[in-house]
Amino acid sequence: MRRLFIAGNWKLNKNINEAERFASELKSALIDINTVDIAVAPTVLALPTVCKKLQHTNIEVSAQNIHSHASGAFTGEIAAEMIRAAGATYTIIGHSERRAIFGEKDEFINQKVHAAFRSGLLPILCVGETLEQREAGHASSIVITQLKKGLNGLSPDQLSCVTIAYEPVWAIGTGKTASPEQAQDMHAQIRSWLYASFPAFVGDQLRIQYGGSVKPHNAHALLSKPDIDGALIGGASLKVEAFVSIIETAASL
């Protein structure tokens, strides 16, 4: 019912030329994949070039971040409307690196989610607990609180178009993956909360990606779980072979 959605977050990697070359290679390697949704998130500098390179292909482009305002005195920021005009389809919002390093709070993240919809971008909202929070038994309450605040004020139609990326902070870039059972368990709790809080079509349609050291060797076990609807991938999305292998695994399911 929900198509798997695999997105690569390039973070602060690949200059314009490298990004363009990488996009060309992906385009050729993924030309026959038509059963999985795919996106890549280059730096904002490379985004227009990558959008042009991937126009009319099966690979969409995502921003890694947006600002909540459309214009004004916000030095160094980029508006959702500008990202949309460059040709992107999605934007990541509330990545744990933005929360931890740049101090982004749930209220600001919620404003960005609204800004994404205002501009026509689809948000990929990242949530996840730290190791300390998990060990204290607070993982579910942290994640559900991030979701309640991050998604506040959206209509059911908008909610059904959101992608939630569950990314346990302790599994990002560390090589430690949540086991498929741990990930499925949290995804099922998120899904139950969606069914309990909104009309049923939201729970049916909203996709929940898993993120945190997804690699070719663990992709099959994770993506086979019923409530894992895709993956948000950092490190493994920087190598054509690894990223393509994960997408081929998704397409085989």
Between 187 and 203, CB nearer to ligand PEP: 187
Give yes or no for a contact between 59 and 27, defined as CB atoms under 8 angstroms apart: yes
Whether 95 is catalytic = yes
Q: Is 120 among the residues that bind ligand PEP (CB under 6 A)?
A: no
Nearest approach, Cβ of 55 to ligand PEP (angstroms)? 25
Q: Is 42 among the residues that bind ligand PEP (CB under 6 A)?
A: no
> 100: which strand partners?
none
Query: What is the C-alpha to C-alpha distance for residues 179 and 170, in angstroms, rounded to an integer?
Result: 12
Of the residues 169, 211, 228, 230, which one makes contact with ligand PEP according to CB under 6 A: 211
Alpha helix ranges (H) inside the chain: 16-29, 47-53, 80-85, 96-101, 106-119, 131-135, 139-150, 156-161, 180-197, 200-205, 216-223, 240-252
Nearest approach, Cβ of 151 to ligand PEP (angstroms)? 19
Q: Is 213 among the residues that bind ligand PEP (CB under 6 A)?
A: yes
Q: Is 169 among the residues that bind ligand PEP (CB under 6 A)?
A: no
Kindly indicate which of the ranges 66-74, 145-153, 231-239, 241-249 contains the residues binding ligand PEP, using the contact rule CB under 6 A.
231-239
Question: Which 3 state secondary structure label does DSSP give 134?
Answer: helix
Q: Is 233 among the residues that bind ligand PEP (CB under 6 A)?
A: yes
| 88: Cα separation from own chain's centroid | 14
Q: Give the pair of three-digit tokens for residue 243.
A: 């990223």
Q: Which residue of the set 60, 95, 129, 187 is catalytic?
A: 95
Between 190 and 214, CB nearer to ligand PEP: 214
Q: Is 173 among the residues that bind ligand PEP (CB under 6 A)?
A: yes
Backbone angles phi, psi at 120, to 5 degrees: 95, 10
Backbone angles phi, psi at 38, to 5 degrees: -130, 140
Nearest approach, Cβ of 246 to ligand PEP (angstroms)? 10
Between 52 and 176, CB nearer to ligand PEP: 176
Of the residues 42, 128, 212, 230, which one makes contact with ligand PEP according to CB under 6 A: 212
Q: Which residue of the set 97, 104, 167, 187 is catalytic?
A: 167
Of the residues 40, 232, 244, 250, which one makes contact with ligand PEP according to CB under 6 A: 232
229 burial (CB, 10 Å; 0-12 / 13-18 / 19+) is buried
The residue among 248, 238, 141, 139 whose CA lies nearest residue 193 is 141
- Rounded CA Rg of the chain: 17
Whether 220 is catalytic = no
Q: Is 167 among the residues that bind ligand PEP (CB under 6 A)?
A: yes
Helix, strand, coil tally for the chain in percent (to 5): 50, 15, 35
Q: Is 235 among the residues that bind ligand PEP (CB under 6 A)?
A: yes
Q: Could you give the residue numbers annotated as active site?
A: 95, 167
Q: Give contact residues for ligand PEP (rule: CB under 6 A).
A: 9, 167, 172-173, 211-214, 232-236
